[in-house]
């Protein structure tokens, strides 16, 4: 089974699946293969509904529903691949219902919290890089992998845009603020002979910044900014989307900037700002107008 799992993961990489998806699927499928090995059923003929049910039942109770769903998605994709390769004669998921995805509202920062993060970044040990990094993320709402995948040549200083390769290697152009462009220029001025094809952001060793490195920077910046909550790169993406909607941006434009395939993925941001909802209510309700 391990041989076919590796072939499947290689297939995903060749199909330009995002590195994060491949990484998650690799971990999920390793967990499954370890499970079947312990039960001495490490053979494709045992890749059945019963074994999958048994594996899912063995998962820790504290696993979030969406984590379990991701594991199911990894196994379902593997099953579909094995069917196409003629290694399975029956799809083990045909009669195996999946639980519904848990809908979680995005967690975003207030504008005051974002300002504190930006100010803290501007005074960090790697101030030029961190200021450019945080200004760009707040002005563009890019995903973690999109930020770390940027090259210097992807920044269009004249038109105020960045060229982004999103999920599935789909290319899009995203506008950025003048403040972000200036911070990037200042950062590049500190670099030694930066070339257009070089990574836009480097770590403290001078090599391209990774997704894990970016998450580490965010964690420590939140601590330095004395924010009493967990802050991740995705928190900044959620904050970007929420703040734009609160200030009049339309959903279609936001969908394009975020790189969402469907408008439904973007519509979640219409439900997250209670302050905005209350403000609209207070201004629109006739009883409030009487006071």
Which residues share a beta bridge with 162?
Answer: 155, 174
Q: Are 22 and 11 in contact (CB under 8 A)?
A: no
Q: Which of the residues 70, 71, 129, 237 is marked catalytic?
A: 237
User: Is residue 11 flagged as an active site residue?
Assistant: no
Q: Which of the residues 116, 129, 143, 243 is marked catalytic?
A: 143
Alpha-carbon distance of 289 to 291, in angstroms, equals 5
User: Is residue 101 flagged as an active site residue?
Assistant: no
Q: Are 116 and 221 in contact (CB under 8 A)?
A: no
Q: Which of the residues 167, 205, 276, 281 is marked catalytic?
A: 167
User: Is residue 269 flagged as an active site residue?
Assistant: yes
SS3 label, residue 279: helix
Q: Which of the residues 70, 71, 129, 260 is marked catalytic?
A: 260
**Cα dihedral sign, 257-260-266-272:** negative
User: Is residue 191 flagged as an active site residue?
Assistant: no
Alpha-carbon distance of 208 to 254, in angstroms, equals 29
User: Is residue 37 flagged as an active site residue?
Assistant: no
Alpha-carbon distance of 187 to 108, in angstroms, equals 27
Q: Which of the residues 11, 26, 234, 276 is marked catalytic?
A: 234
User: Is residue 238 flagged as an active site residue?
Assistant: no
Q: Provide the angle, in degrees to the nearest 10, between the axes of the packed helices 233-246 and 111-121.
A: 130
- Which are the catalytic amino acids? 143, 167, 234, 237, 260, 269
């Amino acid at each position: 089974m391990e041989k076919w799992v590796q072939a499947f993961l290689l297939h995903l990489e060749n199909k330009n699946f995002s590195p994060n998806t491949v990484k998650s699927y690799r971990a999920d499928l390793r967990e499954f293969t370890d499970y079947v090995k312990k039960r001495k059923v490490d053979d494709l003929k045992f890749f059945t509904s019963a074994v999958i049910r048994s594996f899912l039942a063995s998962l820790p109770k504290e696993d979030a529903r969406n984590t379990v769903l991701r594991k199911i998605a990894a196994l379902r994709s593997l099953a579909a691949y094995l069917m196409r390769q003629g290694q399975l004669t029956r799809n083990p998921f045909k009669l195996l219902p999946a639980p519904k995805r848990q809908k979680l509202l995005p967690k975003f920062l207030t504008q005051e919290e974002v300002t504190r993060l930006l100010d803290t970044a501007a005074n960090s040990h790697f101030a030029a890089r961190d200021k450019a990094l945080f200004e760009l993320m707040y002005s563009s709402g890019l995903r973690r992998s999109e930020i770390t995948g940027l090259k210097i040549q992807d920044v269009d200083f004249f038109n105020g845009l960045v060229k982004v390769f999103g999920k599935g290697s789909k290319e899009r152009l995203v506008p950025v603020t003048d403040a972000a462009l200036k911070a990037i220029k200042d950062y590049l001025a500190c670099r030694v002979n930066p070339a257009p094809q070089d990574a836009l952001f480097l770590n403290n060793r001078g090599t391209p910044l990774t997704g894990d490195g970016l998450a580490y920077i965010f964690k420590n910046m939140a601590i330095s900014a004395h924010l009493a909550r967990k802050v991740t790169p995705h928190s900044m993406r959620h904050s970007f989307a929420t703040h734009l909607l609160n200030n009049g941006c339309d959903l279609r434009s936001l969908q394009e900037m975020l790189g969402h395939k469907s408008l439904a993925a973007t519509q979640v941001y219409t439900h997250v700002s209670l302050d905005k909802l209350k403000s609209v209510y207070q201004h629109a309700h006739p009883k409030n107008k009487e006071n």
